Amino acid sequence: MINETHDPALRSWVASANAEGADFTIQNLPFATFRRRGTTDSLRGGVAIGDQIVDLAALSAAGLLQGMAATAAKAGAGSTLNPLMALGAPAWSALRLALSRALRDGAAEQSRLQACLVPQADVEYGLPAQIGDYTDFYTSVHHATNIGKLFRPDNPLLPNYKWVPIGYHGRSSSIGISGQRFRRPLGQLKAPDAEGPVLAPSKRMDIELELGIFIGTGNAQGEPITMAEAETHVFGICLLNDWSARDIQAWEYQPLGPFLSKSFATTLSPWVVTMEALAPYRVAFSRPDGDPQPLPYLDSPANRERGALDIRLQVLLQSQRMRDAGQAPQKLIETSYRHAYWTVAQMVTHHTINGCNLQPGDLFGSGTLSGPTLDQAGALIELTQGGKQPITLANGEQRTFLEDGDTVVLRGWCEKPGAAHIGFGDCVGTLLPAATA
């Protein structure tokens, strides 16, 4: 629900939060874990404001907050946000309101809160949570259709797609935070005309533009979460790059789905934007005429009226040559989360309908967020039509799949008339040469 924390007229005494196009405006207030760079300090939770971070450990120690907001700040002061996530939506909301008020122009708390600020330029980030389980969904019908045509030309969109939110269980151990650098994976590759596979570095390294959805409060095993309550279980959303080795994937994925083609690295942006901060950017969720309506357990009036989110998304690439020449990353893709075929609430409800229990800090991937046209494709395999249509970069380099040294940047933000601009910050990852190269 929209409340005083969303008022686009609010301004902060942290001047950088009021700058045109700032990601971390006072209407945003996302959470991360961080430490001062180069120290062995333990990680602690923080809230972004402009180019600063409110250190929740310092805030908690300063005794500036009362009641549920104080309880929430204390729960967010440790090295992971799991305790804060477990507290539930009223606690997250109380902390957001208290911080919104204390960070506003003219707030009486300014001088005491100032002492709890740490410049973002001085920190390194940790994962927001200890991620027990990671499930990657497949919620873009455009992605499913585009990649289906490449992997299964005779049967691109499988008949279950419009009925069931498809997902697979991912791997948490290799999830890293923005800045992650990882080696090109080795795997079994089988050329279509070869008799058998060989073990070699992947030649078809790809990205997947996704959102990461952090579960806050979980559910007891055997007690599904209904659509009506689904979103109260969601703490917030970050950016997620589900790096994918397409050649390993094509050979290994049938019949159980992706395995080693995606488990070597997954990169998250450090800041988790809360569901409350995202409230103004909700949009109606509908399906094309003639498509089946979701089964009743996956349907609700609220989901139809405002189940989708207009989160604008971009993918940028910076090659090693561009980096050496001081050239900024170049935009390859632009799309929005609003095109997804299944919503956040539907993912949560479906995941638990069999009695599966979610836990605080569990992570969902939205699935690759391709929009309806090819320039909105969320993966290179779609953008280059299976590697057949190379992209030419501004410096003349060509790409089908990623080259060693490539850095990929995901960006996301929300804006609309009558609401503030809020952004996610960057999700950056770099592909290094394979171990044997």
Any idea how long the chain is? Answer: 437
Alpha-carbon distance of 382 to 192, in angstroms, equals: 19
Q: By CB under 5 A, is residue 23 in contact with Mg ion? A: no
Cβ closer to Ca ion: 30 or 378?
378
Given Ca ion, ligand LGMQ2O6W, Mg ion, none, residue 266, with its beta carbon under 5 to 8 Å by kind, binds Mg ion
Q: Establish whether 334 is an annotated binding residue.
A: no
Given ligand LGMQ2O6W, Ca ion, Mg ion, none, residue 414, with its beta carbon under 5 to 8 Å by kind, binds none
Token pair 């950088």 is at which residue? 16
* Residue ranges in contact with ligand LGMQ2O6W by CB under 6 A: 136, 138, 143, 147-148, 151, 208, 210, 242, 244, 253, 258, 367-368
Ramachandran angles phi, psi of 302, nearest 5°: -65, -35
Residue nearest to Ca ion (CB): 242
Q: By CB under 5 A, is residue 382 in contact with Ca ion? A: no
143 catalytic? Reply is yes
Cβ closer to ligand LGMQ2O6W: 50 or 258?
258
**Minimal distance, residue 306 CB to ligand LGMQ2O6W, in Å:** 23
Alpha-carbon distance of 155 to 145, in angstroms, equals: 9
**Minimal distance, residue 401 CB to ligand LGMQ2O6W, in Å:** 14
Q: Establish whether 125 is an annotated binding residue.
A: no
Alpha-carbon distance of 254 to 38, in angstroms, equals: 45
Q: Which two tokens stand for residue 80?
A: 């992971």
Alpha-carbon distance of 371 to 239, in angstroms, equals: 16
**Minimal distance, residue 209 CB to Ca ion, in Å:** 9
- Stretch near Ca ion under the rule CB under 5 A, chosen from 54-62, 242-250, 302-310, 414-422: 242-250
Pairing between β-strand 186-189 and β-strand 198-201 as defined by DSSP bridges: antiparallel
Given ligand LGMQ2O6W, Ca ion, Mg ion, none, residue 231, with its beta carbon under 5 to 8 Å by kind, binds none
Q: Which amino acid would we find at residue 384? A: T
Concatenating the DSSP letter of every residue in 231-276 gives GGGEEEEEEEE--EEHHHHHHH-TTT--STTTSS-EEE-S-BEEHH
Q: By CB under 5 A, is residue 242 in contact with Mg ion? A: yes
Q: Establish whether 266 is an annotated binding residue.
A: yes
Among the listed residues 117, 104, 125, the one whose alpha carbon sits nearest the alpha carbon of residue 25: 104
Q: Establish whether 188 is an annotated binding residue.
A: no
Q: 269, exposed or middle or buried, with CB in 10 Å at 0-12, 13-18, 19+? A: buried
Alpha-carbon distance of 407 to 426, in angstroms, equals: 12
Q: Which of 23, 109, 242, 382 binds Ca ion (CB under 5 A)?
A: 242
**Minimal distance, residue 189 CB to ligand LGMQ2O6W, in Å:** 16
Token pair 């600063």 is at which residue? 52
Residue nearest to Mg ion (CB): 266
Q: Do residues 397 and 380 lie in contact, with contact meaning Cβ atoms separated by under 8 Å? A: no
Q: Establish whether 384 is an annotated binding residue.
A: no
Given Ca ion, Mg ion, ligand LGMQ2O6W, none, residue 68, with its beta carbon under 5 to 8 Å by kind, binds none
Q: DSSP assignment, residue 337?
A: G
Q: Establish whether 122 is an annotated binding residue.
A: no
Among the listed residues 296, 316, 276, 310, the one whose alpha carbon sits nearest the alpha carbon of residue 426: 316
**Minimal distance, residue 262 CB to Mg ion, in Å:** 4
SS3 17: helix
Tell me which residues in 110-139 interact with Ca ion (CB under 5 A).
136
Ramachandran angles phi, psi of 344, nearest 5°: -55, -45
Binding residues for Ca ion, total number by CB under 5 A? 3
Beta-carbon neighbour count of residue 329 at 10 Å? 20
Q: Establish whether 349 is an annotated binding residue.
A: no
**Minimal distance, residue 368 CB to Mg ion, in Å:** 11
Cβ closer to ligand LGMQ2O6W: 138 or 424?
138
For the chain, first and last CA: distance in Å? Answer: 53
Q: Do residues 76 and 95 lie in contact, with contact meaning Cβ atoms separated by under 8 Å? A: yes
Which of the following is catalytic: 143, 339, 350, 351?
143
Q: Do residues 236 and 30 lie in contact, with contact meaning Cβ atoms separated by under 8 Å? A: yes
Q: Do residues 341 and 140 lie in contact, with contact meaning Cβ atoms separated by under 8 Å? A: yes
Q: Establish whether 221 is an annotated binding residue.
A: no
Q: By CB under 5 A, is residue 262 in contact with Mg ion? A: yes
Cβ closer to Mg ion: 77 or 248?
248
Say how far residue 53 (Cα) sits from the centre of its chain. 20
Given Ca ion, ligand LGMQ2O6W, Mg ion, none, residue 253, with its beta carbon under 5 to 8 Å by kind, binds ligand LGMQ2O6W
Binding site for Mg(2+): residue ranges? 242, 262, 266
**Which residues are at the interface with Mg ion (CB under 5 A)?**
242, 262, 266
Binding site: residue ranges? 136, 138, 152, 208, 210, 242, 249, 253, 262, 266, 368
Q: List residues with catalytic annotation.
A: 143
**Which residues are at the interface with Ca ion (CB under 5 A)?**
136, 208, 242
Binding site for substrate: residue ranges? 138, 152, 249, 253, 368
